[in-house]
Structure 1
Amino acid sequence: MLQWIRSITFIVGCTVFMPVIGLLYAPWALFSKRGAYACCKCYSRGVMWMAEHIVGMRCEVRGTPPTDAVLIAAKHQSFLDILMIFQSVPAGKFIMKREILWMPVIGQYAKRMGMIPVNRGKRGQAVTKMLADVRVGDMEAGQMIIYAQGTRVAPGAVVPYKKGTAALYEQLGQPCVPVATNVGYFWPRRGLYRRPGVAVVEFLEPMPAGMARKEFMETLERVVETRSDQLLADARAHSKR
């Protein structure tokens, strides 16, 4: 019962914190993309602080987050891995659902930072336009973040990896950094309960540019799924102690 109370307190805190921090940073973010990034990084730090001090969920980033222009292909399990990845890199740009643009605060800041919206069922068109923007130099360099399965996936569930990741990798001509996680065990995609423990996002060894599509996709899925399963097993083992 106590953990349920902590979980609901945490959710309320995160919900209230978003419009408050959004309004505080609005004058700076209105005129500067740096202000928008600063606001969202402040929100990410605040949520992770509340997760640890209210719920007992410590957020740990492992590996070496990239600072140069790369593609990040990540496992997506909950809102928490978005915050942890974004907080870890200097200029992250997510490929995200277009519906997010209409959300209060988040949508406005996403537009300001140049995030890439994708229509449901038209992911291929969005990737094509994005690649065209990259080629003509309309898109600023940074860390392009794509969720290779295209949606949140519960820990342990099997969902195929999307071909758009390979297309983006080929056209960008940049290394790809895989990212594994177990955060869905602590912060599930549905429900209010938040579990105490160590939620991990881990940046794995970069994959070089120029790999053949089949080899790239097979390697990406193997390293991300294998490491995510290991992190999940570790989390479950520690929760039983």
Structure 2
Amino acid sequence: MSYAIQWVRSLIFNAQMYVAMPVIGLIYLIPAIISPKGAIAACHAYCVWVRWTASWMIGLQVEIRGTPPTDEVMVAPKHQSFLDVLMIYGAMPRGKFIFKSILKYAPVIGQFGLRIGCIPVDRGKRGQAIKKMVADVKAGHALPGQLIIYPQGTRIAPGVKAPYKIGTGALYKELDQPVVPVATNVGVFWPKRGVLRKPGTAVFEFLPRIEPGLEVDVFMKQLEDTIETASTKLNKEAGFDG
């Protein structure tokens, strides 16, 4: 398939993906207002839609490996594209993200994100957000579920080195919950920037959980080694040698 044809297919896919977001939001608006369960159902429906349309519009299949958690844990994924946000969330029953505070003002994403229990964090004020979140969890105010936090804080392209931020370690210590690392190679097919989406199979691998009780520095090294080793292996499986 030529580059030009795949680029056009990608453009159409990207456009319909963003059009579908407010449409599904409107369909589930009343259920979402009535209960967080309605908002969760809406988000899962959108994940299913994107996965289905990606499979035939751009030839990008999704494979989930390992066992997605269903209990109350932290989930620490490799972040390479918007697709990993959707597919990791869609694989679990009650995911909730720590996300940039500015996103709470984004149409649909912000409103539904807050409704499903996502926690907005102001840039530079992560420490305050962690303290508040821990207090809410201990007081029973936070919605139960799988707390998703990206250890590197932003999208990182395959083959690029970037530090793992200590916020994940602080949460690990304070919440005293298991952490489930997640590796992926989705960035090989869905770049951080640009229109083109490549055909292939994007893999999202839920790895063995790290139990609570480790020293923070030991935990952070184990988390980074686990995710990076598995992601590098998946990248090579997809034909990426960078």
Question: Same fold, TM exceeding 0.5?
Answer: yes
Question: Structure 1, residues 129-160: CA drift from partner, whole Å, max 9, x if none?
Answer: 11111122211221111000011111111111
1:203 aligns with 2:210: no
1:188-233, Cα deviation, whole Å (9 max, x unpaired): 1110000000011110011111111111111000010011111111
> Which of residues 231, 234, 240 in structure 2 aligns to 1:231?
234
What residue number does 1:171 align with?
A: 174
AA matched with 2:168? T
Deviation at 1:56, TM superposition (A): 0.2
Q: Which one of the candidate residues 53, 58, 64 is aligned to 1:55?
A: 58
- Give the Cα separation in 2 of the matches to 1:99 and 1:186: 27
In 2, Cα distance between the equivalents of 1:10 and 1:183? 16
CA offsets per residue over residues 80-122 of structure 1, 9 Å max, x none? Answer: 0000111011111100011111111111101111210011111
Task: Choose from 88, 94, 100 the match for 1:85.
Answer: 88
Does the CA-based 8 Å contact 2:61-2:201 persist in structure 1?
A: yes
Tell me the amino acid that sits aligned with residue 154 of structure 1: A
Is there any run of 5+ residues in structure 1 with no aligned partner, and where?
Answer: none
Aligned partners of 2:179, 2:168: CA distance in 1, in Å? 10
> Quick check: 1:106 aligned with 2:106?
no
Counterpart position of 2:185: 182
Looking at structure 2, the residues matched to 54 and 130 of structure 1 have their Cα atoms a distance apart, in angstroms, of 40
Partner of 1:43: 46
Structure 1 residue 213 corresponds to structure 2 residue 216 = yes
AA at the equivalent of 1:47:
V
Match of 1:129 in 2: 132
2: CA distance between counterparts of 1:5 and 1:68?
41
TM-score by length of 2: 0.96
**Matched residue, 1:145:** 148
Deviation of the 1:237 alpha carbon = 6.0
Supply the AA of the counterpart residue of 1:156: G
Q: Distance in 1 between matches of 2:114 and 2:142?
A: 13
The structure 1 residue matched to 2:35, chosen from 32, 41, 48, is: 32
Q: Which runs of at least 4 in structure 1 moved beyond 6 Å after TM superposition?
A: none
Inter-partner Cα distance in structure 2 for 1:211 and 1:231: 27
TM-aligned CA deviation for residue 15 of structure 1: 1.2
Hey, what's the Cα distance between the residues in 2 that align with 1:67 and 1:40? 16
C-alpha distance in 2 between matches for 1:12 and 1:90:
27
Residues 188, 240 of structure 2: 8 Å contact kept? no
Q: What's the CA shift string for 1:26-63, capped at 9, x where partnerless?
A: 01111111110000100011001111110000011110
CA RMSD of the aligned region, Å? 1.2
**Identity, % of aligned positions:** 53
Structure 1 range deviating more: 134-143 or 163-172: 134-143
Question: 2:57, 2:169 → 1: CA distance?
Answer: 40
Per the normalisation by structure 1, the TM-score is 0.96
Matched, 1:6 2:25: no
Q: Which ranges in structure 2 are unaligned for 5 or more consecutive residues?
A: none
